[in-house]
Amino acid sequence: MFDPSAMDSIEDGPFHRFSDWPVRDLPVGPGIYTVWKEDLFIYVGIAGRSTPALDHPPFQSLRSRLGSHASGRRSGDQFCIYVCDRLVLPELEGRLREVADGRLSLDALTKSYIHANLGFRFAPVRDYLTALALEAAVKSAGLGKAGRPLLNPGNKPD
């Protein structure tokens, strides 16, 4: 049903570290991407939707979407929220007062975590609907060797 080369690319294709951001070979177009912590499959996402909202650019390409993730800013970025909630906060035992009074920035900690620990693979696709279908398949059935993503698995198929 899906282009096997796209599925191969997001599981075994070239690996790009967020610490090397910006990555020059990212296409400006729709696509699917996966985020990894070494061999652990963390997240699957897509880019290419046109957004009519005034506070968003009219088109989110792979480059702009992954750039948003690389920034570590949680506002408007579900991936950064997941990373902060599930991977950064557990490391802050005893430091929440610093966050509450503004001495410690969760956005800065999230960016630091992403750049120190995570990387991604990607595959351009022909259109947003193709990306959406691929993402749904990966969330529910997982990737061949890696399984389902840690931070955003979908419902398992019956």
In a domain, 21, yes or no: yes
Residue 58 confidence (pLDDT): 52
Q: What residues make up the domain containing 88? A: 4-141
Mean pLDDT of 74-96: 94
Res. 28 pLDDT band, cuts 50 70 90: confident
- Give 54's pLDDT tier (boundaries 50, 70, 90): very low
Give mean pLDDT, residues 78-96.
95
Asked, for residue 151, whether it belongs to a domain, the answer is: no
- Quick one: average pLDDT of 103-123? 97
Domain membership flag for residue 146: no
Residue 157 binned pLDDT confidence (cut-offs 50, 70, 90): low
Tell me what the mean pLDDT of segment 110-133 comes to: 95
Please say if the pLDDT value at position 46 is more than 90.
yes
User: Do the domain assignments include residue 158?
Assistant: no
Domain presence at residue 156? no
pLDDT at 72 over 50: yes
Q: What total of structural domains would you count in the chain?
A: 1
In terms of DSSP H, where are the helices of 13-155? 62-71, 78-83, 96-100, 106-117, 128-141
Query: 29, 61 in Cβ contact below 8 A?
Result: yes
Domain-embedded: residue 153: no
41 three-class SS: strand
